[in-house]
Amino acid sequence: MKRSPLKYFAWISLVLLTLVSCRSSRIYTSGEQAEVIRDSILPDSFEKITVKAKITYQERELSGLMLIKNGGSGDYKIAFFNEIGMTYLEGTLDRSYRHPKLIIRNIAPVINYKSFVKNFEKSMLTVFSDKFNPIFPASPLPRPHAEDKSTLSVQLRNGFRLELMTNDQ
């Protein structure tokens, strides 16, 4: 018996739909006190603040300090650098447009990939969103993250994770 091309098309469409839905960018934040942590790390009326940051992406980890400066009118200048002063990323989170965006001024060649910048932008927009609505993951986070109540963690479904910790740890 000959199989119908329509059946093949249906199966291929189903497989592609499944793959695309697995790579969608839903945002998760860890901890029941995520909004409290966000408010303690990023108060509304700060001039500038330094937090420890750790980015995990594609089984690679990048950690350092993140300096966030409030530029007024909802704009934030962001500098992500390591402890000895090498700059990973400098930019401005511009929220004056209808669709907020991250404008990169300087980026290290190691992380100068479109996918990295896009995921970093999504994570930072989530942190600075006026409608901060944490979604708790169905599966628990790894042990060190589940117990730490002073870390704000934004995790995208594609494996990108941004963790912000207060600098006094």
3-state secondary structure of 64: strand
pLDDT-based confidence at 141, cuts 50/70/90?
A: very low
Q: Mean per-residue pLDDT for 76-105?
A: 89
pLDDT bucket at 5, cuts 50 / 70 / 90: confident
pLDDT in tens, 8-60: 777 777 766 666 555 544 555 555 556 666 666 666 667 888 889 999 987 88
pTM over 0.85: no
Mean pLDDT, residues 137-157 taken together? 59
CATH topology of domain 26-166: outer membrane lipoprotein receptor (LolB), chain A (2.50.20)
Q: Please, what is the average pLDDT of the chain?
A: 75
**Would you state the pLDDT for residue 40?**
61
C-alpha to C-alpha distances, 63 to 9, 80, 129, 142, 161, nearest whole angstrom? 45, 9, 23, 18, 12
Q: How far apart are CA 50 and CA 33, in angstroms?
A: 21
Question: Whole-angstrom Cα distance, residue 89 to residue 106?
Answer: 6
Neighbouring-strand partners of residue 166: 51
pLDDT of residue 85: 85
What does the pLDDT look like over 109-122, one tens digit per residue?
989 999 999 999 98
Higher pLDDT, 147 or 8: 8
How far apart CA 157 and CA 140 sit, in angstroms, is 14
Q: Which sequence spans correspond to the domains of the chain?
A: 26-166
